[in-house]
Amino acid sequence: MTDLATTLAPERTAPVPVRPRERSTARRRILVGVLAVLLLAALWELVKVVVPDAGGHLGEASVLPRTDDLAMPHVWDIVERVLQPETSATGSPTVLGAMLSACWFTLRVALAGWLVGSVGGLLLAALMQRWQLAEHALVPWVVLSQTVPLIALAPLVVGWGGRIHIGAFEWQRWMSVALIASYLAFFPVTIGALRGFQSPPAAQVELFRAQAATWNRTMLSLRLPASVPYLLPALRLGAATAVVGAIVAEVSTGTKGGIGRLIISYAQSASGDPAKPWAAIAAAALLGLLAAGLVSLLGLGLGRYRYAEVR
Amino acid sequence: MTAAAVRRWVAPVLLGVVALLLWQAFVVGAGIKPYLLPSPTAIVEQLVLVLPLVWSAALATGMNVLVGLVVGSVVAIGAAIVAARSRMADTLLSPTAAALSVMPIVALAPALNTMFGTTSTTPRRLVVSVVVFAPVFVNMLRGLRQVQPVHRDLLKAYAATPRQITRTVTIPGALPYLFTGLRIASSTAVIAAIVAEYFGGLQNGLGSRITSAASNSAYARAWAFVLGAILLGLVFYLATLALERAVARRQGG
Amino acid sequence: MTNAVEARGVGKVFSSRSGEVSALEGIDLHVAAGEFVSLIGPSGCGKSTLLRLIADLDTPTTGELTVFGKTPQQAREAQDYGIAFQQAGLLPWRTVTANVELPLELHGVGKGERAVRAKELLSLVGLDEFAGHFPHQLSGGMQQRVAIARSLAERPSLLLMDEPFGALDEMTRERMQTELVRICAESGAAVVFVTHSIPEAVFLSQRVVVMSPRPGRISAVVPITLGDVRGEGLREDASFFAAVTAVREALHGTPVTARGVDLR
């Protein structure tokens, strides 16, 4: 496989570091993103024109949405509404302002949860890497908990708010939200880290073994660097799920201040103010992108470890 | 059974049993209030009591998952085939799927309730479909693209038509990837269907039951419904896993 | 009779991010019908590239290349050649039989005829018992034999082989070489065989084409006059060693004094 044809043919070039390509694709991505949003807006207006106001039913099930201005306000109305004050009360912030502060609140809680969950996940993965018995005992549970809807617990964990006191420490509501967020971030990170720690081929592991390297040394110099291509996507996924967890937890706790609460309260005022719920949804979508984007920044300095990213 | 198999099976089961016992002992011994954590026995007691209700709620939620899973997967497979063929479609669809995968799709639920009516199951099924789209699309596309260079050369040497290449190499090669995508999608679909119920609308599913039990301070009952949700998730996971295995066996994998 | 392969002044330039690299330059080569020709040379001498040009998997940048008097593309579309690579390249989801049948299936050969031909081919490569197995159940050597059977499926008058035994152990390799000599004698096909093993090239070929790298060129052509009947005994014959030495010296450009060292 060392022949020129194999090294030079375009589809078989040696693995290219991710970083040099990243800058041009970042610009293209933004462009595509803008294009996708414009397309979505056009599609939206098209549906409004084509589909009857009352929507469409197939037997009992409604298969087409209501398209009147109450259910699907015009795109420009949504944009306009975002820039107006939230309520008619004097001194009320604009919807945009309310959205931004809600996003900021949820982002902090989600990132706090993500941090706790990621550290926990890394530690657990290291533990499972160290003792095979731990791996055997824990992996089925970790996989299981990723496949079953443990987020269903959210309304229950939420009940802890204000009810746990340990000395001077009082369990706050936002901590329940962060706990659920961390819980959701925990599993993808654990699995990603474990796969990453186990990714070095036998030849490399045996090289370290042959040189009588300690477990710590092997972890630090071999397994940890080798895990980066597995870890980064897992951390990104963890950030995204942490945001979902935070929003869902806010909804089921009724925690004030975050975007989850905003989605619900705007939805409740939809009949009088139809554009507001959509603004909140847009904010939630942006929040997800922002959280994943922030975590992606972690990868910028790690270019040399990312020769082959696994998703 | 070999010693390795014993370790593989006994260790996790033992851990589970020990965890349950510790949970029970902790709750009873420390006098933990049910709003913090009910004991496993209390949960099972409640589960037996409300079993018919859990069953009907699981059916309602399960139906939402199934419909959403099928619709979302069909759309995603179609989109992946288009993206594999057209560069333009790919530049538009791939980033969209990547963005969708990090967005909290459930946030759409209340607005969809307004659009389709709060008594309709459509909003939930739609949320599930959107959630399912990204993993199925990404994996299917990866599968369609992973044709090995040696296979590509071989088929070119045989002067195979594009249609023949699709049938003999591309699709069989993509199937395992598709099933990986479906397996991931099935668990996120269950989660999405349950969470979508937290955002209001019909009160017939597991998610609604959990919230209403929790707000009535019936904590053990809420946990019983959570148990139902976990079983529902397992059913979907195992079903897609079985499908994956069956296809792999047929392909001699 | 038209030559199986005819190359005049063939060159190939690859353009990559770091600029243009000339992989082949001024290749003049002809392979007669039924002739066994090996291409040998160090890594990067363009021997695989030349094979890929003949197979129309790549196109030459300069020069003229014909296969049985046609352009490589016409020859490929007419299925004038069979091909085998260093990797067996079997489809993992097909049985051994279905893999051998693949080219026939692609070209619309009926089911019954396919089955008969596959059976013939599998007994030719000695794998009758493994017809229903899947590739991953076979050893590397067996997989490679399936690939060779597949390359012979349509009775091609030209076989293109890119280091088909490169990944095999020495013992399996020698056995496969003996089998290949027999198969080629039976089918009467011309063969272009890429290798970097000197004894392998000598044992199989009527002519060994020696190539040198940067840019890839033909530096010598060594005729091997060991006769048409080549059995295991030939490997220990003085004439075989002499031919090996001749190729080795051509490869190095100077006489080599140390004997018996296999430089690979």
Complex ipTM value: 0.79
Arithmetic mean of pLDDT, B38-59: 88
Percent of chain A with pLDDT over 70: 82
> Is a pLDDT exceeding 80 seen at residue C35?
yes
Arithmetic mean of pLDDT, A30-45: 84
Structural domain spans, chain C: 1-80+156-264, 90-155
Is B229's CB within 8 Å of A285's CB? no
Is A267's CB within 8 Å of B187's CB? no
Q: Does C130 touch chain B (CB under 8 A)?
A: no
For the stretch C114-144, pLDDT in tens is: 999 999 889 888 888 998 898 888 988 889 8
> Is a pLDDT exceeding 70 seen at residue A42?
yes
Interface test with B, best of C91, C99, C114 (most B CBs within 10 A): C91
Arithmetic mean of pLDDT, C14-20: 79
Q: Which band of pLDDT confidence, cut at 50, 70 and 90, is reported for residue A163?
A: low
Is C79's CB within 8 Å of B251's CB? no
Q: Which band of pLDDT confidence, cut at 50, 70 and 90, is reported for residue B62?
A: very high
Q: Does A4 touch chain C (CB under 8 A)?
A: yes
Name the residue in chain B with its Cα closest to that of C132: B252
Structure tokens at C57: 């998997």
Name the residue in chain A with its Cα closest to that of B145: A11
Respond yes or no on whether the N-terminal peptide bond of residue C72 is cis (omega within 30° of 0): no
Most confident of A60-74, A114-128, A219-233, C135-149: A114-128
Give the distance from residue C142's alpha carbon to the nearest chain B alpha carbon, in angstroms. 17
| pLDDT of A9 | 28
Pair B150, C143: CB distance under 8 Å:
no
| Separation in Å, CA B162 to CA C124, C161, C162 | 31, 25, 25
Structure tokens at C155: 């009775």
> Is a pLDDT exceeding 60 seen at residue A17?
no
Most confident of A141-155, A189-203, B7-21: A189-203
Q: Does C92 touch chain B (CB under 8 A)?
A: yes
| pLDDT of B31 | 75
For the stretch B152-162, pLDDT in tens is: 888 988 888 88
Q: Which band of pLDDT confidence, cut at 50, 70 and 90, is reported for residue C191?
A: very high
Largest CA distance in chain B: 76
Residue bearing the bigger pLDDT, A143 or A10: A143
| pLDDT of A308 | 59
For the stretch A250-274, pLDDT in tens is: 887 777 888 888 888 888 877 777 7
Q: Which band of pLDDT confidence, cut at 50, 70 and 90, is reported for residue B92?
A: confident
Structure tokens at C85: 């690579």
| pLDDT of B2 | 67
| pLDDT of B253 | 47
Is A148's CB within 8 Å of B234's CB? yes
The partner residue sitting opposite A284, judged by closest CB among B107, B117, B234, is B107
Give the closest residue to C29 by CA, choosing from C210, C212, C246, C243: C210
Name the residue in chain B with its Cα closest to that of C93: B251
Residue bearing the bigger pLDDT, B29 or B7: B29
How many CB atoms sit inside 10 A of residue C190's CB? Answer: 25
| Separation in Å, CA A31 to CA A28, A129, B85, B93 | 5, 42, 22, 13
Give every CB contact of residue A166 below 8 A, 6+ residues apart in sequence.
none
> Is a pLDDT exceeding 70 seen at residue C254?
no
Give the distance from residue A103's alpha carbon to the nearest chain B alpha carbon, in angstroms. 13
> Is a pLDDT exceeding 90 seen at residue A307?
no
Those of residues 66-105 in C touching chain A at CB distance below 8 A are: 86
Give the distance from residue B222's alpha carbon to the nearest chain A alpha carbon, in angstroms. 8
- The number of CA neighbours under 13 Å toward the Cβ of B247 is 16
User: How many A×B Cβ pairs under 8 Å?
Assistant: 181
Is A8's CB within 8 Å of C14's CB? yes
Arithmetic mean of pLDDT, C59-76: 89
Arithmetic mean of pLDDT, C251-263: 55
What is the distance between the alpha carbons of residues B236 and A149, in angstroms, rounded to a whole number? 11
The neighbours of chain C, by the rule of 3 or more Cβ pairs under 8 Å, are A, B
For the stretch A134-152, pLDDT in tens is: 888 888 888 777 777 777 7
Is C49's CB within 8 Å of A5's CB? yes
| pLDDT of C1 | 63
Q: What does chain B look like in DSSP terms, one character per residue? A: --HHHHHHHHHHHHHHHHHHHHHHHHHHHHT--TTT---HHHHHHHHHHTHHHHHHHHHHHHHHHHHHHHHHHHHHHHHHHHHHH-HHHHHHHHHHHHHHHHS-GGGHHHHHHHHH-TT-SHHHHHHHHHHHHHHHHHHHHHHHH---HHHHHHHHHTT--HHHHIIIIIHHHHHHHHHHHHHHHHHHHHHHHHHHHHTSS-S-SHHHHHHHHHHTT-HHHHHHHHHHHHHHHHHHHHHHHHHHHHHHHHTT-
Arithmetic mean of pLDDT, B192-212: 85
Give the closest residue to B85 by CA, choosing from B141, B28, B149, B29: B141
Pair C67, C60: CB distance under 8 Å:
no
Arithmetic mean of pLDDT, B36-53: 85
The backbone region for C155, taken as left when phi is positive above 0, alpha when psi lies in -120 to 50, beta otherwise, is left
Structure tokens at A151: 């987020």
> Is a pLDDT exceeding 70 seen at residue C263?
no
> Is a pLDDT exceeding 70 seen at residue A285?
yes
Give every CB contact of residue B104 below 8 A, 6+ residues apart in sequence.
A243, A244, A247, A248, A284, A285, A287, A288
Contacts of B151 in chain C (CB under 8 A): 89, 91
| pLDDT of A121 | 92
| Separation in Å, CA C122 to CA C59, C87, C92, C113, C129 | 33, 19, 18, 14, 9
| pLDDT of B66 | 95
Q: Does A2 touch chain C (CB under 8 A)?
A: yes
Is A9's CB within 8 Å of C48's CB? no
Helix (H, G, I), strand (E, B) or coil at B127: helix
> Is a pLDDT exceeding 90 seen at residue A48?
no
Give the distance from residue A161's alpha carbon to the nearest chain B alpha carbon, in angstroms. 10
Check residue B168 and report its DSSP letter. Answer: I
Tell me the sheet residues that pair with C21. C14
Name the residue in chain C with its Cα closest to that of B251: C93
Interface test with A, best of B15, B103, B124, B238 (most A CBs within 10 A): B103
Most confident of A89-93, A290-294, B9-13: A290-294
Percent of chain B with pLDDT over 90: 20
Contacts of C53 in chain A (CB under 8 A): none
Contacts of C49 in chain A (CB under 8 A): 3-5
Q: Which band of pLDDT confidence, cut at 50, 70 and 90, is reported for residue C3?
A: confident
Structure tokens at C70: 């046609």
Architecture of domain A76-305: Orthogonal Bundle (1.10)
H or E, element range at A63: strand A61-64
The partner residue sitting opposite B156, judged by closest CB among C57, C91, C103, is C57
Buried b (16+ CB within 10 A) or exposed e, B192-202: bbbbbbbbbbb
| pLDDT of A24 | 61
Check residue A185 and report its DSSP letter. Answer: H
Structural domain spans, chain A: 1-72, 76-305
Q: Which band of pLDDT confidence, cut at 50, 70 and 90, is reported for residue B119?
A: confident
Q: Does B14 touch chain A (CB under 8 A)?
A: yes
Is A3's CB within 8 Å of C49's CB? yes
Contacts of C58 in chain A (CB under 8 A): 5, 9
- Residues A40/A46/A48/A51 CA torsion (nearest 10 deg): -120
Is B12's CB within 8 Å of A137's CB? yes
What is the distance between the alpha carbons of residues B24 and B22, in angstroms, rounded to a whole number? 5
Structure tokens at C174: 């020698």
> Is a pLDDT exceeding 80 seen at residue C110?
yes
Give the distance from residue C27's alpha carbon to the nearest chain B alpha carbon, in angstroms. 22
| pLDDT of A19 | 43
* pTM of the entire predicted model: 0.78
| pLDDT of B74 | 96
Give the closest residue to A274 by CA, choosing from A61, A48, A62: A48
Contacts of A252 in chain B (CB under 8 A): 198, 211, 214
Weakest mean pLDDT among A65-69, A136-140, B47-51, B151-155: A65-69
Residue bearing the bigger pLDDT, A199 or A310: A199
Give every CB contact of residue B209 below 8 A, 6+ residues apart in sequence.
B53, B54, B57, B203, B222, B225
Give the closest residue to A308 by CA, choosing from A230, A248, A245: A230
Output the CATH code of domain C1-80+156-264.
3.40.50.300
What is the distance between the alpha carbons of residues B179 and B191, in angstroms, rounded to a whole number? 19
Give the distance from residue A134's alpha carbon to the nearest chain B alpha carbon, in angstroms. 8
The partner residue sitting opposite C93, judged by closest CB among B148, B154, B253, is B253
Those of residues 40-69 in C touching chain B at CB distance below 8 A are: 52, 55-57
> Is a pLDDT exceeding 80 seen at residue A61?
no
Residue C261 backbone dihedrals phi, psi, to 5 degrees: -100, 120
Arithmetic mean of pLDDT, C50-68: 90
> Is a pLDDT exceeding 90 seen at residue B78?
yes
The one-letter amino acid code at A238 reads G
Domains and CATH numbers, chain B: 42-250 (1.10.3720.10)
Contacts of C56 in chain B (CB under 8 A): 156-157
Pair B133, B192: CB distance under 8 Å:
no
Structure tokens at C60: 């030459």
